[in-house]
Amino acid sequence: MAVLNRPAAHGRPAQAAARQTATPTRVRHVLQALALPALLLLLWQVSAVNQWVSPQILPTPQRVLATFTELLLSGEIFEHLRISLQRIASGLLLGGVSGLAIGIWLGTSAWARRYVEPTLVALFSVPTLGWIPILILIFGIEETLKILVIAKAVLVPVVLHATRAIRQIPQSYIEAARVLRLRPWTRLTRLTLPACFPVVFSGFRLGLSHAFIALVVVEMLAATEGIGYMMVWGRTLFQLDIVIVGILVVGVVGFSLDVALRQLERRIGRWQPGHD
């Protein structure tokens, strides 16, 4: 029994050494990522101290921090952020699911490729901002408008990535599925989706960044709540410290969600063939 337990005993120091090696590497990566923000903050402070820009146009970091603290303690920023995240979640779900379905259809159907794809590409070329006036006339300025605008922003990259990923599936995989006479659902879940997963997930991550852009735009134009509305309200009052707080909140939240998606991608991708 002692002999059988030796490999496990040898494996533990190796795992501990790997963890010790990984920790400094992660710290170094974090410091490298914070280098540019720290430099920008330093330039911002120097500019404020030397009054290179008027404080009414570029508030000092201390003023922005005080405004953020005030909004935080009053709970106002949490309320605006909660509403914005609800819109992001609804738009991401609607646009992501619809985009994946359309992408699979375009990638697997020759008929859709010939007759539908050219029209969709033309529609996708119209910026999201260009659809807002028409959508306002149809749906008004209620929540439906905001969710549809965000969903459209998410749908486009998901459709394009899913279509490209499916068309890049090796022909040998497709021939093997035909030989095995896999049912359509089995072929979709066991072949198509696993094979195109990395590219499709990249489409979802890109769609998330587009969703935040669409969110801020639509909240600035047609909303009375949300982070975008808070920013436009600050601009109206000429309190640019509120605008900068909104920008920083959107940036931090967007970055955090992207990091969470990357972690989710790694966890889900472990079951893929060839994953270490």
Record the tokens describing residue 34, joined without a space. 């914070």
| CA-based nearest residue to 100, from 218, 220, 196 | 196
Has residue 2 been placed in a domain? Answer: no
Has residue 37 been placed in a domain? Answer: no
Q: What share of the chain is helix, strand, coil (3-state, %, to 5)?
A: 85, 0, 15
Task: Give the rounded distance of the alpha carbon of 22 from its chain centre.
Answer: 27
Host domain of residue 130 = 76-257
pTM for the full predicted model: 0.77
Per-residue pLDDT of 79-136, as tens digits, reads: 888 999 999 999 999 999 999 999 989 988 889 888 988 889 888 888 888 888 888 8
Count of structural domains, the chain: 1
Per-residue pLDDT of 198-210, as tens digits, reads: 888 888 888 888 8
The CATH number of whichever domain residue 104 belongs to comes to 1.10.3720.10
Has residue 91 been placed in a domain? Answer: yes
Has residue 220 been placed in a domain? Answer: yes
Has residue 244 been placed in a domain? Answer: yes
Mean pLDDT is highest, among 30-34, 87-91, 108-112, 250-254, for: 87-91
Has residue 154 been placed in a domain? Answer: yes
Has residue 158 been placed in a domain? Answer: yes
Has residue 267 been placed in a domain? Answer: no
